[in-house]
Amino acid sequence: MIRRGLRAAARLGHHGALPGGPYILPRFSLASAFGSSMDSLVSRFCQEKTDLKNYALPNASWCPDMLNLYHEFLEKTKADGWIRLPSFKSNRNHIQGLKFPLVLTVSSDKSDCHIFTRCIKTEGQGYEYVIFFHPSKKKSVCLFQPGPYLEGPRGFAHGGSLAAMIDETFSKTAYLAGDGLFTLNLNTRFKNLIRMGSLAVLNVGVEKVEDQKLYISCVAQSTDQQTVYAKASGTFLQLQLEEDSSQY
Amino acid sequence: MLRSCTAALRTLRALRGRREGASPAARDPVLARRWFSTEKVIPKDHALPNPSWSKDLRLLFDQFMKKCEDGSWERLPSYKNSKLVKEQLSQAQLFTRGYEDGLGFEYVIFYNDDEKRTVCLFQGGPYLQGVPGFLHGGAIATMIDAAVGMCAAIPGGIVMTANLNINFKRPIPLCSVVVINSQLDKIEGRKLFLSCTVRSADEKILYSEATGLFIKLDPEKSLI
């Protein structure tokens, strides 16, 4: 059953362009089609009607570059097929109606868990970011502004924080584009340091899907594209989530 | 990734210097005052047990502290507040020390000078989650960068991460203890090649493997 689902996911990965016109999110439906279509994953992920706090919204700490690009992409969500991804406290909040396979449940799953990139709550201090995803192109753009908690060399972001942001963007893209769940490989080549409080734009794209693995790459650069901060590639294991019948 | 490690080097020299005589106490007030000449406050060393440390972590810590007794291994202290430090410490430690006890990165690094390798004992807390119940790949990458970077900085001086290639074999359960073994494989001019493994406390499970390339920087040149 899982194998069929994975093959279905792989086929969907090669699916051509979605119907033209404004991209409207399908209504969330429990009786979703066999296997998780990208539409279903996206709608469960985004949870249009929710009280959960969405961390991927502008706040006072966002620099002008970040605000400008954010609004540019927000415009593109109206007609060009881009989707602004919300960002909740835990990955559990992004899989409404689904659950992780039994083999993955661990006893140490506490309620005060936070996703790594959203654990520093004070605005502007840690990871400030928002991801825009394009389903048919299987691409993402992440606007990332590192704060003082992420400091490495004085005045610049720690390399590990960029690797983490790349992994997180990879992870969301791989999941929505093709049920990618676990990072198998992350290869990061650092070129230049990111000044704290400035914007880094991460351009991510799925390269191919093969043998239950999803291959993905990223170029992180400055707003004006003059400086490349890092290039990275990743491999993700495809693992389809199960329907959570216990909720209904 | 830049590593200014002058203070780390001083740590090493100071610790070695005490091999012959005095107590191996990690918190030596006299030593601290010599480093931090501006303040009388003794900064907190985070690379020491606190209530959030699990039994596994404490056990491993004690085992390695025993190994330090004959001088072959050194425990590296870890400070959080850069304002108290006259020189730049390995900056990775500021990022990884920004959490309350037990919520984020709980770790201690031991260094073996003869074998040119480090062992990092790491316990990742609930604020480092990825897939629920497991550590985020990015948090693991951060810790690997810090541990391997320290292994490069001690022989190499001021170094910067050029490349980090991590293979994740199995997901690491949240709040479990892992051992990150890093070693210096070779040096070619200004390039330092390192590798590491991430295993469970009992060494039975291999969670990840990584290789890293670090570049020695010219301290005269500016960063950008």
Minimal Cα distance from A164: which residue of B? B138
CB pairs under 8 A between A and B: 164
pLDDT given for residue A36 in this prediction: 53
Q: Within 13 A of A244's CA, how many CA atoms are on the CB side?
A: 13
Rg (CA), chain A: 18
pLDDT at A148 exceeding the cut of 80: yes
Cα distances (angstroms) measured from residue A120 to each of A117, A209, B176: 8, 34, 22
pLDDT given for residue A110 in this prediction: 56
pLDDT digits 0-9 by tens, B148-177: 999 999 888 888 999 999 999 999 999 999
More confident position, B223 or A209: A209
Q: What is the largest CA-CA distance in chain B?
A: 49
Specify which of A2-6, B66-70, B78-82 reaches the highest per-range mean pLDDT. Answer: B66-70
A87 in reach of chain B (CB within 8 A): no
Inter-chain CB proximity A116 and B91 less than 8 Å: no
Inter-chain CB proximity A113 and B131 less than 8 Å: no
Of the given ranges (A111-120, B169-178, B205-214), which has the lowest mean pLDDT?
A111-120
B24 in reach of chain A (CB within 8 A): no
pLDDT given for residue B222 in this prediction: 58
A222 in reach of chain B (CB within 8 A): no
pLDDT given for residue A105 in this prediction: 59
> How does residue A94 score in pLDDT terms, banded at 50, 70 and 90?
confident
Inter-chain CB proximity B223 and A105 less than 8 Å: no
Domain residue limits, chain B: 55-79+89-216
Of the given ranges (A83-97, A132-146, A188-202, B130-144), which has the lowest mean pLDDT?
A83-97
pLDDT digits 0-9 by tens, B84-111: 443 344 444 466 777 778 888 999 999 9
CA angle B3, B7, B11 (to 5 degrees): 125
Of A119, A183, A193, the CB nearest to B223: A193
Identify whether the C-beta of residue A248 lies closer than 8 Å to the C-beta of residue A32: no
C-alpha A209/C-alpha B168 separation (Å) is: 18
Of the given ranges (A168-172, B45-49, B187-191), which has the lowest mean pLDDT?
B45-49
ipTM, 2 decimals?
0.81
pLDDT at A168 exceeding the cut of 90: yes
> How does residue B28 score in pLDDT terms, banded at 50, 70 and 90?
very low
pLDDT at A14 exceeding the cut of 70: no
pLDDT digits 0-9 by tens, B112-155: 989 989 999 999 999 999 988 899 999 999 999 989 999 999 88
A49 in reach of chain B (CB within 8 A): no
pLDDT given for residue A24 in this prediction: 36
Give the CATH superfamily of B55-79+89-216.
Answer: Hotdog Thioesterase (3.10.129.10)
B210 in reach of chain A (CB within 8 A): no
Residue bearing tokens 């690009």: A69
Inter-chain CB proximity B129 and A114 less than 8 Å: yes
Percent of chain A at pLDDT > 70 equals 80
pLDDT at B38 exceeding the cut of 70: no
Residue to mutate among B107, B131, B160, B176, with most A CBs inside 10 A, is B131
pLDDT at A6 exceeding the cut of 60: no
Of A90, A153, A167, the CB nearest to B132: A90
Intra-chain end-to-end CA distance of chain B, in Å: 12
Report which secondary-structure segment, H or E, holds B216. Answer: strand B206-216
Report which secondary-structure segment, H or E, holds A91. Answer: none
Of the given ranges (A33-37, A81-85, A103-107, A118-122), which has the lowest mean pLDDT?
A33-37
Residue to mutate among B85, B88, B142, B174, with most A CBs inside 10 A, is B142
Percent of chain B at pLDDT > 70 equals 71
Known catalytic residues of B are 145
Q: Which of B208, B150, B202, B107 is nearest to B2 (CA)?
A: B150
Intra-chain end-to-end CA distance of chain A, in Å: 22
Give A170's contacts (C-beta < 8 A, 6+ positions apart).
Answer: A180, A183, A186, A204, A216, A218, A232, A234, A236
Identify whether the C-beta of residue B200 lies closer than 8 Å to the C-beta of residue B55: no
